[in-house]
Structure 1
Amino acid sequence: MLNRKFKIAILCGGPSLERGISLNSARSVCDHLYSDQIDVIPIYFDHRKRPYQISRAQLYSNTPSDFDFKLSETAKPLGENAFHKLLKSADIAFPVMHGLFGEDGEIQTKLEKASVPYIGSDKNACKNCFDKYRANELIKQHGFFALPSTVLKIHEPSKHKQILRDFFSKHNLERAIVKPATGGSSIGVHSVSTVEDAITAARTIFKKRMDTRIVVEPFCKGIEFTVIILENRFGMPVALFPTEIETDYSQNQIFDFRKKYLATRQVIYHCPPRFTDKIIKKIQIQAEQLFKVLGMRDFARFDGWLLPNGNLWFSDFNPISGMEQNSFLFLQSAQIGFSHSDLLHYIARNACKRYNLNFPDIPPKTKSKKQRINIIFGGKTSEKQVSLMTGTNTWLKLRKSSKYEPHPYLLDIDDKTVWRLPYSKTLNHTVEEISEMCKKAKGAEKRLKPLREDILKKLSISEPKGLANKETFAKRTTFYPGHMNEELFIPEKMTIEKFIKNSKYIFIGLHGGIGENGTLQKILEKAKKPFNGSGSYASKLCIDKYKTGLRLQNLEKQGIYVPKKYLGKTDELLKMNKAGLNKFWKKIKYEIESASIIVKPPDDGCSTGIVRMKNPKELAIYLEFIKNRLPAIPKFTLGKEQGNIVEMPTNKPEYLMFEQFIYTDRVRVVKNKLKWQKISGWIEITATVLGKGKNLKAFNPSLTVARNSVLTLEEKFQGGTGVNITPPPQSHVEK
C-alpha cells in the first residue's frame, strides 16, 4: 500500500507500582518514534490488566490516576478479540511496562500466543531476570560473583524470625537490605540494622501486598553503577559507558525512588564513571556475558556494585529500561553520539530484522534554513533543576520543528558563565553535573575517545562524527535516524554578554533569579533581542508574591480574591528569642486572621521553602534551617503534616512571607473513582495563558491534588507522583 505508515503499538501502564514511570517511558518513546513514516498506537493497561486504546494526548497525563477514573467512567476496556485485532493492526509491539506484567514475561507470553512481533526480551529471559533471588542464584551458577541472600514467604510467617536470625548470624551482618523479590524503582526497599528491624520491614511489605516473597541480602559496601546493553545487528550484546551513582548511604539511606526520579543534589551521576579504564572494560565484558546468559534481546539495563576488593556484583536486571527523557538509556547512548530518536530507531530496526520485517527507511534529515533559537536554562536559584527540565524538554520538542533550530545553553551557577552544550552533555540530571562535565570535557576526551571507538566498532557503526572529524561533520547536509547523527564537540564557554550578543532569538527557560525577576528581560529589551515570556516590568512584579498580592487586592467584584499576607524581614526574625517569636506569632495570626499559616520566601518558586505552620515552635525550627543554610528540611521535622522533604532556598531570603492557609476541598482518586469531600468550595488549580496584549488564550486548567497541606516538589516534578486532573471534572467544577 502506497504511503502506508509503519505502526508500532506502545504498551504501557499495568498493575505494578511503577505504572507511573511506565507512562513517562511511553510518552518519551512516542515523542521520538512518531513521525511521517511511523505511527504509534498507545495501549494502556489499568491496574486490573484491562487494555484500553488511548490517544497520544492522554500519555501526557502525569500519572495513571489522572485519567484512570475517567477511563472507568467514559470508556470500555477492549475485549480479547478487539485487543488482538488492534495488536494485529500494528507491525510490531513495544512493551514499555515496568515491573509486574511488563517485565515478568506475562505480556510477552500474550504477544507470543497472539503471534505478534515485539521489541525486547522474550518471556523466558524476563522470567530469568524478574525474581531477584532466582536471578542472583542463576548468575552464581554461571560463575559470576554474587552476595548471599535468603527468602521470606508470605505464607510462612512463623519461619521468618528464625530465617533472619540464622542469616544475620551466618554472615555477621550489621546492615541488610529487605526488598520485594519482584519489585523495582526501589519501591518497598528497606535498609535495616537488626533482625527486629528486618521483621518489621518484611511485615510492612507483606501488609501492603507489594509481593508474596521477600529477598534479604547484606547491604553492599561499594560503589553503585548502572549500565545499558544494546544488541547489535548481528545479535551480539554491546555494553555502553556505565554510569557511576554517588549518593549518601549513611543512616540507612539508599538510592531510593525520590533520588531516582527527582533531580536534586542528593545523588550525583558520573557518566562515564570515575573508574579506571580496566574496571570499565570489566563491567562491560561481564554485562555482555550476562546478557547472553539470561537470554536477553534488543536492550536492557543492569544495576550493580563495584566492591572494595575489585569484585563486581550485578544485583538487578531490567529487561525494559526506564525511558524518561534523561534516563540512563538515553544518557549513556548520547555519550557515543546517539540522539533519542537515533537510539530508538536502532533498537526497533534490529528487532524488526529478527521477524523479517521491513523497518521504514526514514528519509534523511537535511540541513535547511530554520530560525535558530538559543535556549538558556540552569542558573543558581533553588529552581535550577526545574529550569533544566524546562530547557531540555523545550529543546527536544523544538528539534522536531520544521521552522525552528534549537540549541541548548547552560547558565552556570555563577549566573555569569554560559556553556554551549553538545547533545551528550545536555542529559545529565542536574545543573551542577553538567557544569562539572563541561569544565572537565577537554581533559576527559583524550581518555574517552578510544573507549568510545571500541563501543562503536562493536555496534557495527562506522561513522563517528564531531571530535574525530569535525570538519566533515560541519559539511554534512544529510542526517539518518538510527545512525550516529549528533555532533560530539567540547562545550564552548562564554560570558552571558557574549551569549546575548551572538543570539538572534533567545528562549528563556530559567526559573527564578535573573530569568524571572526582570533582570535578563531588561538587558534583552535594551539589546533589542526577541525573547519569550513577559517583559521586564511584569516579570519584576510577578516574581514577588507579596507585591503581586497587593496589586490584586480589591478585585473581589471581578471574582478575584487574595489571601491576607504579612512580610517579615528575615534578619530581624533570626535575632528574636523565644519570647520574641511568640509575640510575633500572635501578631501575624491577628494580622492575617488565620490560626494556620503558610510561610514561604516571596520570590522563590517550585515549592521552595513552603511550609504550613501552626505555632511559633515550628517557626523557630524553620528559622534554624534558614540560618544554617541547610539544603532541605527532613520530613516530619515540623510535625505530621510535613510528610515530605522541603527543599530550601540556596541563599538566605531577605524577607519571609506569612499567608493565610486556604482550606480546600479534599480530592482523591481511590480505586479508579474520584472522591470529592466538600470542605470550603476552594480547590487548587494551575492554568496556562498564551498570547500577547489583548490577544490572550487560557488553556484548560489542571486540578492539582496535594496529599498533605502543601503541594510538594515531588508532586509537581517527580516522575509518576503528582495528580493533575485536566480539565477538572465538570461534575464538580463548572465549565
Structure 2
Amino acid sequence: MKVAVISGGASPEHDVSLASGQGIARAAAELGHTVLCLVIEPDGTWRDGQHEAIELLQFCDVVVPALHGQGGEDGVIQGFLQQLGVPYVGSGVAASAVGLDKHLTKAVLRAHGLPVAPGITLRGADLADPESVLQRLKEASIDLPVFVKPGNGGSSFGVTRVTDSAELGRAVADAAGLDSQVLVEQEIRGREIDLAVMEFPDGRIEAGPALEIHSDPARPFFDTTAKYAGAGTRFVVPAPLDPALAASLRRTAVEVFQTLGCAGLARVDFFVPADGQPVVNEVNTFPGFTPASQFPRMWAAAGMSYPELVHNLLETARARTAR
C-alpha cells in the first residue's frame, strides 16, 4: 500500500508525535509499504505546504494521523481526512473530539455508569478566582490533594498536583495557559494501570495485557518528566493483578472504547485503589506509539511485534472503510 504518516502538530506534544510517526513509518516500510511522511510544524503549517499535502494524501491507500493533542487527536485532522475521502487509522471525528476533552469524556462515561474521579470544570471568570474554586470544591465534597489539568491535551503538560490551597491559583493559571477550560479533580490514591484496546480487521475489539506504572520516585507524580525523562520510571507488563481484577479491567476498557465510539486503537488509563472500585482516569485515542511506548509494550506482552501491530492498524482501517 501507499501509506502516509502525519506527525508533529501544533500542540505541546509535537516532539512526542514526531517520535511516534518515525516509529510507525519505519515499521510500515519494513512491511513493504511505500511510506510518505508528512510533518505539521509547531505553528500549524504543513512542512511541504497544505495544498501539496492534499494532493499527496488523495493518492494514499491509508493515512496514519500519528498526532497527539489539540489539532491532531481532537477530530480536526480526522474531519480533514474524511473530506478527502481517505481511509485513516484510529477514531473518527466525534470519538476523537470527546476523547481529548477530559470534561466531555468523563461526562459521557459517568452517564453510562462508568466510574470516574470526582472533579469540577473551570471556565471564564472562575479561572482567575481561587476563592471561588475552593468554594466549588467544598460544595462538591472534594478535598486536597487535587490534580489541576488542562481540559484538553496529554503527556501531563500543564498538570499540577496541589496539596496546599495557596498553590491552587498558580496551578489553575498554568493549566489555563494551555486550554480555556481547566479540570480540578480529586486525587485517587492507588495503582496506575493502563489497558491497550485495539480493533481488528474482522471487527473484534480486544484489550491487551495490563501495564502498571511505577513512576520515578524523584518526581511528584507521573508528570511529563517522569514519562519521558525519568530515570526511575518503570513499566511492568503484564501487571501483577488478581485474575478477576484483570478480567474486570479488560471488560471496562473495552466498554469505554465502545461507549465513546472509538475505532482502531485507544489506551484507557485507570487508578485502582487498594480498597475500592477502579476509576477511569483518561482515554487516549492515539496514544504514544514509539516501540518503547506503553501501547506497543502491552501488545508485545501478548506476542504481537511492533510491525505486526502497525500491520493490524493499517488493515483494520482499510477493512472498516470497505465495510
TM-score range, shorter-chain basis? over 0.9
Amino acid at match of 1:153: R
Q: Quick check: 2:194–2:269 contact (8 Å CA) kept in 1?
A: yes
Aligned to 2:109: 139
Residue 224 in structure 1 maps to residue 181 in structure 2: no
Cα distance, 1:155–1:90 mapped onto 2, change above 3 Å:
farther
Q: Which of 311, 314, 320 is the matching residue for 2:280? A: 314
Residue 98 in structure 1 maps to residue 68 in structure 2: yes
Q: 2: CA distance between counterparts of 1:105 and 1:157? A: 26
Tell which structure's C-alpha radius of gyration is larger. Answer: 1
Aligned to 1:37: 32
Aligned to 1:14: 9
- TM-superposed deviation, 1:159: 4.7
Deviation readout 1:209-231 (Å, 9 max, x if unpaired): 31111100011111111110011
TM-score between the two structures when normalised by the length of structure 1: 0.42
Q: 1: CA distance between counterparts of 2:92 and 2:183? A: 24
Q: Quick check: 1:168–1:195 contact (8 Å CA) kept in 2?
A: no
- TM-superposed deviation, 1:205: 2.9
Residue 292 in structure 1 maps to residue 258 in structure 2: yes
Q: How does 1:439-454 map to 2 (within 5 A)?
A: none
Deviation readout 1:134-185 (Å, 9 max, x if unpaired): 1111101000111211112245445542133331464251300001111211
Q: 2: CA distance between counterparts of 1:305 and 1:89? A: 43
Amino acid at match of 1:161: E
Aligned to 1:110: 80
Q: Quick check: 1:133–1:149 contact (8 Å CA) kept in 2?
A: no
Q: Which of 256, 262, 265 is the matching residue for 2:223? A: 256
Aligned to 1:473: none
Q: Quick check: 1:33–1:341 contact (8 Å CA) kept in 2?
A: yes
Q: 1: CA distance between counterparts of 2:9 and 2:281? A: 24
Q: 1: CA distance between counterparts of 2:31 and 2:206? A: 30
Aligned to 2:209: 241
Q: How does 1:151-190 map to 2 (within 5 A)?
A: 151-157=121-127, 159-168=129-138, 170-190=140-160
Q: 1: CA distance between counterparts of 2:33 and 2:117? A: 45
SS of the residue corresponding to residue 198 of structure 1 reads helix
- TM-superposed deviation, 1:315: 1.1
Q: 2: CA distance between counterparts of 1:236 and 1:86? A: 31
Amino acid at match of 1:244: E
Q: 2: CA distance between counterparts of 1:291 and 1:36? A: 28
Q: 2: CA distance between counterparts of 1:341 and 1:157? A: 45
Aligned to 2:42: 47
Residue 148 in structure 1 maps to residue 143 in structure 2: no
Q: Quick check: 1:25–1:322 contact (8 Å CA) kept in 2?
A: yes
Q: How does 1:561-600 map to 2 (within 5 A)?
A: none
Deviation readout 1:332-383 (Å, 9 max, x if unpaired): 11112111111110111111111239xxxxxxxxxxxxxxxxxxxxxxxxxx
Residue 195 in structure 1 maps to residue 195 in structure 2: no
Amino acid at match of 2:199: E
SS of the residue corresponding to residue 34 of structure 1 reads helix
SS of the residue corresponding to residue 244 of structure 1 reads strand
Q: Quick check: 2:127–2:172 contact (8 Å CA) kept in 1?
A: no
Q: 2: CA distance between counterparts of 1:203 and 1:43? A: 34
SS of the residue corresponding to residue 196 of structure 1 reads helix
- TM-superposed deviation, 1:237: 1.5
Q: Quick check: 1:181–1:213 contact (8 Å CA) kept in 2?
A: yes
Q: 1: CA distance between counterparts of 2:148 and 2:126? A: 16
- TM-superposed deviation, 1:254: 0.9
The alignment of Structure 1 onto Structure 2 pairs a total of residues equal to: 323
Aligned to 2:175: 205
Q: 2: CA distance between counterparts of 1:148 and 1:310? A: 14
Q: 1: CA distance between counterparts of 2:34 and 2:68? A: 23
Q: Which of 238, 241, 244 is the matching residue for 1:272? A: 238
- TM-superposed deviation, 1:35: 3.8
Amino acid at match of 2:235: Y
Amino acid at match of 1:235: G
Q: Quick check: 1:161–1:195 contact (8 Å CA) kept in 2?
A: no
Q: CA RMSD in A?
A: 1.9
Cα distance, 1:128–1:27 mapped onto 2, change above 3 Å:
same
- TM-superposed deviation, 1:248: 6.4
Cα distance, 1:203–1:269 mapped onto 2, change above 3 Å:
same
Q: 1: CA distance between counterparts of 2:85 and 2:140? A: 49
Aligned to 2:248: 282
Aligned to 2:299: 333
Aligned to 1:662: none
TM-score between the two structures when normalised by the length of structure 2: 0.94
Structure 2: runs of 5+ lacking an equivalent: none
Higher-RCO chain (CA-CA 8 Å, sequence separation at least 6): 2
SS of the residue corresponding to residue 355 of structure 1 reads helix
Aligned to 1:301: 267
Q: Quick check: 1:165–1:195 contact (8 Å CA) kept in 2?
A: no
